[in-house]
Amino acid sequence: MRGKTETIVGLFILVALSIFLYMGFKIGAFRFDRDRYSSYSMFFKDLSGLARKAKVKVAGVDVGWVEDFDIVADGQMRARADIMVRRDYKLYSNAYALVRQDGLLGPKFLEIIPGDPLLSSLPSGSVLSEPSVAPVSIDELMQQFKNIAAHVEDVTESFKDAVGGSQGKEQLQAIFTNLDRASQKIASFSDIVDRSLTRNEDNIDVLLGVGQDIKRLSQKLEDNVLPTFQDSITRISDVFDRDFNRVATKLESTAEAVDDASVQAREGLRSVSSIAEKIDEGKGLLGKLINEDETYRDLKIAVSGIKNYFSKTDRMQIVFDSHFEGMYRPAENYRFEDSKGYFDMRIHPNDDHFYILQLVSSQKGHVHRVEKHRKYFDDENNPINTDALALNRKVEHTYRVRTELFKRNTLSVGLQFGKIFDRIALRFGLFENSAGLGIDFDIPFNNDKFRWVTSLEAFDMAGWNRKDDRRPHLKWINKMYFMKNLYLSFGADDFISKRNANAFFGAGIRFGDDDVKYLFSSLGSGLSGVAKGS
């Protein structure tokens, strides 16, 4: 049984380490080809949304990653970004960078404009002299939207002052009356043109008859005297006849078009009058904006709420942490060394507060106590006092039965709330299914590549998880970060107990939300590439 349990635990640790190593390679925590890349630096006024290990692209092609960024306190409070670019892609003296986003909700990346190849190339370690373009800030967009809303309010207020009240209503009524009169005059003009064309139909027919007489006369002249002159007159009459018919057709179509325009103008005026009445009655969005101040206030409150939501979402950070602890000697009521695994999700809504959701697995497990109370009765159903029985040997507590059940390989949970004071953080809440508190201290070092955090936790104040020991559970743990995402842990667990004090050591891995977004985006790109290839 022992060999089987150790084999399962060993396989679990190997699988977990393999997953952690794979995730570390995917997000770029381990790189063995740095000699193929050149490093460059650049300055931005704002780097909101850009994460470490973000992609660096040239013309849409991945050529490197964002190595690090920091604040430069040179009086301008600029952000410096350090990037790694493949040596195959040269950058020139007028190169510059800008922050872009992959789609509407995708991760942000750094686009490099390499510059003019006729200029001198930049060696590795150079600083881009051209100014970089910062990303568009959501706060600026919200501010512009607020200004637009203010301008809309000014326009609606002006429109309300112009047409509001009885005087504005009279002015609108006068405008509509004048437009109606103009449409009536246009209709009467179209009627006059139509009657004129009708009266002149007889005259047009007379003119056509005269043309026929002239044609017969020209025919006689052609037969008798002037054949050449006859041909000329015939051509003149034909041209005159054709042009006159064309003019008459155009006049008739013009009259119809004027009549249709007058009808459409009358219908348009009716629509404008209906819209004005609805606006004056406060119907529709424009009517409510003009007549109701509450609608504008609601719109203003909604815009402010959206702005606050985006601001809080942008400030919130999530950190994922997982590590294991191997004990030095066998634990209490267990013949093997205990082994624990921790998975933490740490949520930072702002810079000063945080919440921790925790899952803890223990090979030794936890105790589950059950206590049963019994009473004894005689044949007449009267209770029997067991302490007063006349026995040769007194039996104590025969009415109470206690059962202690130890469950191995169990899972416990934790939910903690924390407050940060500079390098000290205080925590309280649930620690491995029991109430407790803890304190973390970030030991200051001058080296940015090394970090040491020491913590002291106190929980299980009544010693419920031990056997015949009511001392609280005290734990001292140290985490030494020798890389950005990896750390070693050691310390003392339950070090004031009678039989459960133990030293431990272990290791862990830690990911920020930027690393998780980068990993998911990389996995999504890989899956889409596989789908396209298939």
Q: Is the pLDDT of residue 521 over 80?
A: no
- The whole-angstrom separation of Cα 13 and Cα 488 is 15
Residues with Cβ within 8 Å of 243's Cβ and at least 6 positions away in sequence, in order, are none
Hey, is 465 helix, strand or coil? coil
* pLDDT, greater one: 26 or 42: 42
Residue type for position 526: G
**What pLDDT, on a 0 to 100 scale, did the predictor assign at position 492?**
93
- The band of 425, judged by pLDDT with boundaries at 50, 70 and 90, is very high
- The whole-angstrom separation of Cα 273 and Cα 257 is 24
Read off the tokens for 315.
């400030």
Q: Are 48 and 14 in contact (CB under 8 A)?
A: no
* pLDDT, greater one: 232 or 383: 383
pLDDT in tens, 246-300: 655 665 666 676 667 667 767 766 776 677 676 666 666 666 666 666 666 776 7
**What pLDDT, on a 0 to 100 scale, did the predictor assign at position 507?**
93
pLDDT in tens, 471-482: 999 999 999 988
CA-CA distances (angstroms) from residue 301 to 111, 146, 306, 382? 37, 11, 9, 74
Q: Is the pLDDT of residue 51 over 50?
A: yes
Please tell me the number of Cα atoms within 13 Å of 142 on its side-chain side.
Answer: 15
**What pLDDT, on a 0 to 100 scale, did the predictor assign at position 393?**
45
Q: Are 290 and 164 in contact (CB under 8 A)?
A: yes
Least confident window among 42-56, 74-88, 151-165, 215-229 = 215-229
- The whole-angstrom separation of Cα 492 and Cα 478 is 9
Say how many C-beta atoms besides its own lie within 10 A of residue 351's C-beta. Answer: 9
Least confident window among 106-110, 310-314, 466-470 = 310-314
Number of H helices, E strands in the chain: 8, 18
DSSP alpha helix (H) spans, 282-421: 284-291, 293-315
What mean pLDDT is reported for the chain? 76
- The band of 530, judged by pLDDT with boundaries at 50, 70 and 90, is low
**What pLDDT, on a 0 to 100 scale, did the predictor assign at position 437?**
95
- The band of 392, judged by pLDDT with boundaries at 50, 70 and 90, is very low
pLDDT in tens, 482-497: 887 889 999 999 999 9
CA-CA distances (angstroms) from residue 382 to 174, 196, 373, 388, 396? 105, 128, 17, 14, 20
Q: Are 386 and 375 in contact (CB under 8 A)?
A: no
DSSP alpha helix (H) spans, 282-352: 284-291, 293-315
Mean pLDDT of the region 519-527: 64
What global pTM score does this model have? 0.44
**What pLDDT, on a 0 to 100 scale, did the predictor assign at position 71?**
81
- By C-alpha distance, which of 280, 294, 287 is closest to 164? 280
Dihedral over Cα of 528, 54, 27, 345: its sign: negative
pLDDT in tens, 72-124: 877 777 888 888 888 888 888 888 888 888 776 778 888 888 888 888 888 88
Highest mean pLDDT among 100-114, 301-315, 330-344, 397-411: 330-344
Least confident window among 26-35, 145-154, 185-194 = 26-35
- The whole-angstrom separation of Cα 530 and Cα 534 is 6
